[in-house]
Structures are given as structure tokens and as C-alpha cells.
Chain A
Amino acid sequence: MGLIKKLPVYAESMPGGSLVLTSVEAILNHGRSKSLWYLLFGTACCAIELMCTGASRYDFDRLGMIFRPTPRQADLIIAAGTITKKMAPRLRRLYDQMAEPRYVIAMGGCTIKGGPFYYDSYAVEKGIDHIIPVDIYIPGCPPRPESLLEGCIHLQEKIRKERLRDWQEK
């Protein structure tokens, strides 16, 4: 009954089972937030923390997050690491190839504002929000796995608050 406690539902016990009423929106958002399959996009040291978070000590699977090597099966792209100007079109293409609804986490200082490469660099893109829309920014250089998990939990909350109407308008 764990799920039913968390959702806005009406449950009626009946002989031989029970009847549950809820909204499509609630059940859809719940499903989306609990199965965020993320695209591996590790370009620098943040990817090491991402791997660590995916491994057994921190265990991304607890949030229903499983890595996918292809954008076609991914809901979320975690941009982990420095994005150079040469890499930017590739990131954009991977994002475009993902099916909606899709989310973006900018992990680490480099993806937020260029990080340590903000000054004196001709090659580094100063923030990936120039390229793709970002949902969650996680600062740090690189962020610890706890920060990444926190960011993902925030993203889940954001997804749960979404309205189907918003998607229609997009």
C-alpha cells in the first residue's frame, strides 16, 4: 500500500479486492519520476563521481535510475564534465534524439558556467544552458555523490509537480 499512500487516490475495499481511483496525471508523473533512465554523457572528472554514484555504495538504482548508452531510451541526460565548443553540437544532437519528456541535469561547475575554464579559455563553452535547457544545476568540482543524489531527488519532485497541460503546450 506504499504507493497508494503517496498518491492522491480514492481506495474502496470491495469483496475479492479493492477499487482504486486516481488521476492519469498522478500515476504518469509517479511512473516518470521513479524510472529516470539517464544517458551517460561523462566528458571529464564529474563522470567519475557519476560512476561512483551508479555503483553499489551510493546506488542510483534505489531511485529507479539506470544508465542507458543510447539517447533513444533515455529520459534524462546528466551532462557530467567540461563541454567544449567542439563538443557542444554533439550534446545538442544527443538531446534532440531523446524522446520527450526529457530532462537535463548540469553536473559540476564546468556545465554551469565553465568552471575552472571560465578565464583564459578559447575552447570551453561557458555553461550548457547556451545549448540545451537545463532543469537542475548541481554545483561542485566535481559534486560529491550525495549532491548528485540530492539533485536527482529534486528533479523527481519537479516531475511530480508537472501538469499534463504543460506538455500539451510544448
Chain B
Amino acid sequence: MTKEELAAYIQEKYGEKLTPLESGRYDLLYEVSKDNLLDVAQSLKDDENLQFDFLCNLLGADTKEHFEVIYNIASIYKNLRLDLKVILPYDAAEIESVQKIWPAANWYEREMWEMYGIEVKNHNDLKLLLLPDDWDQGFPMRKDWDAPDFVRLPEVD
């Protein structure tokens, strides 16, 4: 299945839940709403023609307008790749855990939680992963984060 065929297939079968976003020469990128995430993820995995069984990466992002959670998934059997993006407003930064579908999400979600403060619901082991155990300085990957010894790179024209 080529990239175009995959795009057509997804448009036909998941058209109402997945909104295509511009991704250029990279993998196909779709926006999915927070409520549909688990449904869509489960059906992408169970779909006979897709079998997205592998979570390559899960990352958070702070765009200064809202948070984004991005899932890079792949299909080992069908040799396909796909990106899903969930947009979360600042005042409702919480998302459902996908570790029942892709167990690899466990540590990714822990990292996203500690770095961005995006609450992960139904996660079985939500505790600090990379930060020191006594960390109490907030969420360092947020754009507005600051700390006493933190030096931001000066703007250069």
C-alpha cells in the first residue's frame, strides 16, 4: 500500500474521525479529537488491512497556543507509517492513556506527563521517569517554564 493509497483508504474508512493535516514529504498526519482517540487507535490496530501494531514514538509539544500530543505509529506487517495528533487546550491538558492498545506508551506517557504536565488518565504507573526524584520545579519543557538557574538563549537576529 503506497502513501496515496493509505491516504485514500483512511479517508474512506475513518474520514469522519480523522482530519488530514499538511505534513509535506513526511508521514501522513491526521488530527484526532481527544474523545475519539481510543476508538480510532483501537480500530487502526485491529483493521485487517492496516494492523498498526507498533508505537514508534509518542511526544508532547507546546506551541504557545495549545498542547499537542503526537503518536507516531507503524505497521510491521503492512509496512505503513502514520502520525496522529491530538490538540489539547492549556486549561484541559489531560488525555486518555493508550497503553492498553500499545503497551510501549507507558514510559512515553510518563515522560510527557513530567515534562509538560499533561495529565494521563488510566495510566498504571504515573511517576517521574527522567527528572530527579526530588524534582519540585514544575514542567521544564513548557515554553513559559522558568527556574532560578535557568538561562534562556538570547534572541539572535
List residues of chain A with CB under 8 Å of any chain B CB: 85-86, 118-123, 126
Task: Given A85-B132, A86-B132, decide whether A122 and B150 contact each other with a Cβ distance below 8 A.
Answer: yes
Residues of A within 8 A of B132 (CB): 85-86
Residues of A within 8 A of B153 (CB): 119-120
Q: How far is the CB of A137 from chain B (nearest CB, A)?
A: 19
- Check A122 against B140 for contact (C-beta < 8 Å): yes
Q: How far is the CB of B139 from chain A (nearest CB, A)?
A: 10
Task: Given A85-B132, A86-B132, decide whether A119 and B152 contact each other with a Cβ distance below 8 A.
Answer: yes
Q: How far is the CB of B8 from chain A (nearest CB, A)?
A: 42
Q: Is B147's CB within 8 Å of the partner chain A?
A: yes
Q: Is B16's CB within 8 Å of the partner chain A?
A: no
Q: Once bound together, how far apart are the Cα atoms of A86 and B154, in whole Å? A: 26
- Check A119 against B151 for contact (C-beta < 8 Å): yes
Q: Once bound together, how far apart are the Cα atoms of A119 and B152, in whole Å? A: 5
Write the B142-153 contact mask toward A (1 if CB under 8 angstroms, else 0).
000101011111
Residues of A within 8 A of B152 (CB): 119-120
| CB-contact partner of A118 in B137, B141, B145, B151, under 8 A | B151
Residues of B within 8 A of A126 (CB): 149, 151
Q: How far is the CB of B34 from chain A (nearest CB, A)?
A: 27
- Check B147 against A122 for contact (C-beta < 8 Å): yes
How many B residues have CB within 8 A of the partner chain? Answer: 13
Residue of A nearest to B139 (CB): A122
Residues of A within 8 A of B154 (CB): 119
Residue of B nearest to A89 (CB): B132
Residues of chain B from 100 to 157 with CB closer than 8 A to chain A in the complex? 131-132, 137, 140-141, 145, 147, 149-154
Residues of A within 8 A of B149 (CB): 126
In the A-B complex, the 5 residue pairs with the smallest Cβ-Cβ separation, listed nearest first, are A122-B140, A119-B153, A86-B132, A120-B153, A119-B151
Residues of A within 8 A of B151 (CB): 118-120, 126
Residues of B within 8 A of A86 (CB): 131-132
Task: Pull 18 A–B residue pairs with CB atoms less than 8 Å apart, ordered by A.
Answer: A85-B132, A86-B131, A118-B151, A119-B152, A119-B153, A119-B154, A120-B151, A120-B153, A121-B150, A122-B137, A122-B140, A122-B141, A122-B145, A122-B147, A122-B150, A123-B140, A126-B149, A126-B151
Residues of A within 8 A of B137 (CB): 122
Q: Once bound together, how far apart are the Cα atoms of A139 and B86, in whole Å? A: 45
Q: How far is the CB of A118 from chain B (nearest CB, A)?
A: 6
Q: How far is the CB of A30 from chain B (nearest CB, A)?
A: 41
Residues of B within 8 A of A120 (CB): 151-153
Q: How far is the CB of A91 from chain B (nearest CB, A)?
A: 13
